[in-house]
Chains A and B, each alone.
Chain A
Amino acid sequence: MANPMRIRASAKDGVTEVRVLMSHVMETGQRKDASGALIPAHFITELTAKHNDKVVLSAQFGPSVSTNPYLAFKFKGGAKGDKVTVGWTDNKGESRADEVQIS
């Protein structure tokens, strides 16, 4: 189980800004370790952000995204106390979802 994401969502003037810091190695599959063996690819492939139960952002990630990716986006709507859920799935089938309340 991967480390939890850090998510912050704040609503202002009818727009909610969400900032997410994911914890993931995002290994490209191109690097070699000290002994010369390829390090197997391990990166996030899909990411979904939901406001309550409605999907507000859906993204496909790839090996070009950095380690511990930082993502920020805004969506219209959202009020204090609403739920924002961000979840990802990686190429090894692992997944993680975290939830915060909009402040």
Chain B
Amino acid sequence: MSRFSKTLNALALAGAMAAVVAPAVALDRYQGVGRAATAAEVKAWDIDVRPDFTGLPKGRGTVDQGIEVWEKNCASCHGAFGESNEVFTPLVGGTTVDDIKTGHVKALITGSFPQRTTLMKVATVSTLFDYIQRAMPWTAPKSLKPDEVYAVVAYLLNLAEVVPADFELSDQNIAEVQARMPNRNGMTTDHGMWPGASAAAGGIGNGGKPDTRNLACMKDCKKDVEVVSFLPAYAQDAHGNLAEQNRPVGQTRGKHTGDPSQDAAAATPSVAAAALALANEKGCMACHGVANKIVGPAYSDVAAKYKGQADAGTRLMAKIKAGGQGAWGAVPMPPQGHVKDEELKQLVQWILDGAKAQ
């Protein structure tokens, strides 16, 4: 993440916090940044309808009006009766007259209905209203007038047989409808997903206690990794050789799968790669390039100069070990006593082979 976006995040966070606590604080702390939201701006955003019907706009709508709005805006995705399973899961279905009496949807427990429809799950009618008002129709959210939202909610409730066909839903009688919601008693907030104090203490959560208790085993741990099973050889290359299907760089490398005799073949190019890595490690690459002159000569030039000379390896090894001056110009090469003979041999062989990267 760039520094710029971090700054933005910090500002956004500060802004969000300040908006909740007191807008004036933000203005004091961040002189010249932003301004307090006007009452009209807050009102435009403040559209939520809560379970106690705070924020519910005044209005009314009948089931019949709902049918008209439904046919125009909703039926193409949700089906004429909210039953469609084509675009979204069905909105209506799975609730019974009994559920409306008890406030618990039996099909959620018995699984007698193949899906969990919206009307099976939703516990508060305010949620239906809020969601439709804020998010529907998908292509033009917030485009429905309050009366239209009332009408659509009334139609949905009629489909679920919560209200009769001649019903008119309004801000006056929506609380009575809440008392008939099929899953009204099915919601619990007494779990860790809800913040705050427990329900008994006047909050809505359980005090932040998690639902699950995962006790990590921290004793009698095994010291050695023991491979107890592995794929049989014939199954290992079910997807071909993974090493060939992944780049040799980056975080994800392919494991060599399949015929192990190909390991040697696969390992051959890595001799050069290992030598290059060694050259990097020993500091050779600070003065020598593979194909370009830096301070000292390029390895390709060295290889060309010694090409075809049988004793080139030994002579080069000695020169590197002792250091030297004059063969390639005035800049001296310091003695490289820290490189072991074995490594030196590997490096020289690599240089004479043309100093390939792979």
Contact = CB atoms under 8 A, between A and B. Distances in A.
Chain A residues touching B, majority SS: strand
Contact of B79 (A10, A67, A70): A70
Interface string A1-41: 00000101010000000010100000000000000000000
Contacts, number: 19
Interface residues of A, number: 9
Contacts of B81: 6, 8, 19, 21, 70
Interface in B25-80: 67, 71, 79-80
B15 interface: no
Contacts of B84: 70
A68 interface: yes
A8 B83 contact: no
A6 B79 contact: no
Name the interface size band of chain B.
Answer: 10 to 19
Given A70-B79, A70-B83, A6 B93 contact: no
B330 to A, nearest CB: 91
B91 interface: no
A6 B79 CA distance: 12
Interface in B317-349: none
Contacts of A10: 71
Interface string A30-74: 000000000000000000000000000000000000011010100
Nearest to B159: A6
Contacts of A8: 67, 80-81
19 contacts: A6-B81, A6-B159, A8-B67, A8-B80, A8-B81, A10-B71, A19-B80, A19-B81, A21-B80, A21-B81, A21-B83, A67-B114, A68-B83, A68-B93, A70-B79, A70-B81, A70-B83, A70-B84, A72-B80
Given A8-B80, A67-B114, A70-B81, 5 more contacts: A6-B81, A10-B71, A19-B81, A21-B80, A21-B83
